[in-house]
Amino acid sequence: MKHIRLLSCLLLLALSFSSGSVQPKAMAAEKNKYESTLIMRGPATKREIALTFDDAPDDIFTPKILDILKEKEVKATFFLVGYRIEKYPDIARRIVQEGHAVGNHSYNHPNFLNMQDADFQKQITRTDELIRSLTGSAPTIVRPPYGNISNRQMEWLAGRKRIVVAWDVDSLDWKGLEAEEVASNILPNVSPGSIVLQHSGTGDGGDLSGTVHALPTVIDDLRKKGFKLVTVQDMLGIP
């Protein structure tokens, strides 16, 4: 499935106001309002990096990424799509069994901004139940497809003590980039507390070979620089 990437994760805060535009003061107010719900990065006080992978699982790239993470003894965070859990249950179970953290990435990857409240909520609850079948509990963290979420949707998640996890470093791997390009989009841009966006699943014709081939280099380089690779949950101190 093709992704529309935002110029900045701060655009997550353009939260579907009826006026159609958000002034800087309003943006700042919304960020403060949801500062405990919307997370773009972890604390800068520790040399930690969280590698995250969207659109899992699939049967081509997810197993290869899991193989590398296992070999390198790295725990990552996978944002799971509900229908893909149903399609590839063994791979979804493998993600959990190998100690990786998981989050909710909707049931079938829609643009939440185009959805009625009930349909949006069903996207979350339906995928929660699928993840519960894997882990025994619903996930605390959610990542909206395309990084898009409305004010009402954020309020609904906040009321259920969910954390919306964005990112501050985008690999742009969904574009089918070569390994060198993927690595160059990550390594010069990380800092303590960075949350790195990558993908481990794609639609028909998508190619994440660049991610697979870049991942060992990314892991080795980050470790050489003294970074510890952790899950989002460990970085943020959440269940």
3-class SS string, the chain: CCCCCCCCHHHHHCCCCCCCCCCHHHHHHHHHHCCCCEECCCCCCCCEEEEEEEEECCCCHHHHHHHHHHHHCCCCEEEECHHHHHHCHHHHHHHHHCCCEEEECCCCCCCHHHCCHHHHHHHHHHHHHHHHHHHCCCCCEECCHHHCCCHHHHHHHHHCCCEEECCCEECCHHHCCCHHHHHHHHHHHCCCCCEEEEECCCCCCCCCHHHHHHHHHHHHHHHHCCCEEECHHHHHCCC
Domain residue extents for the chain:
46-236
Where does residue 70 rank: exposed (0-12), middle (13-18), buried (19+ CB within 10 A)?
A: middle
The architecture in CATH of the region 46-236 reads: Alpha-Beta Barrel (3.20)
Kindly report, residue by residue over 44-66, the tens digit of the pLDDT. Answer: 999 999 999 999 999 999 999 99
With beta carbons less than 8 A apart as the criterion, state whether 75 and 101 touch: yes
With beta carbons less than 8 A apart as the criterion, state whether 46 and 72 touch: no
Output the six-digit token pair for 148: 């898009």
- Which residue in the list 3, 105, 109, 199 is annotated as catalytic? 199
User: Is 199 a catalytic site residue?
Assistant: yes
Q: How far is CA 217 from CA 59, 178, 211, 234, in A?
A: 23, 13, 10, 23
- Which residue in the list 54, 55, 168, 173 is annotated as catalytic? 54
Return the CA Rg of the chain: 17
Whole-structure pTM value: 0.88
Residue 36 pLDDT: 81
With beta carbons less than 8 A apart as the criterion, state whether 126 and 91 touch: no
pLDDT score of 67 more than 80: yes
User: Is 54 a catalytic site residue?
Assistant: yes
Kindly report, residue by residue over 196-236, the tens digit of the pLDDT. Answer: 999 999 988 899 999 999 999 999 999 999 999 999 999 99
Output the six-digit token pair for 25: 């003061």
- Counted residue by residue, the chain has a size of 239
pLDDT score of 3 more than 50: no
Task: Assign 34 a pLDDT band (cuts: 50, 70, 90).
Answer: confident
Return the ∠ at Cα 231 (arms to 77 and 170), rounded to 5°.
Answer: 60
Kindly report, residue by residue over 68-119, the tens digit of the pLDDT. Answer: 999 999 999 999 999 999 999 999 999 999 999 999 999 999 999 999 999 9
For the residues 133-156, what does the mean pLDDT come to? 96
Output the six-digit token pair for 158: 């906040």
Residue 23 pLDDT: 39
d(CA 188, CA 106): 31
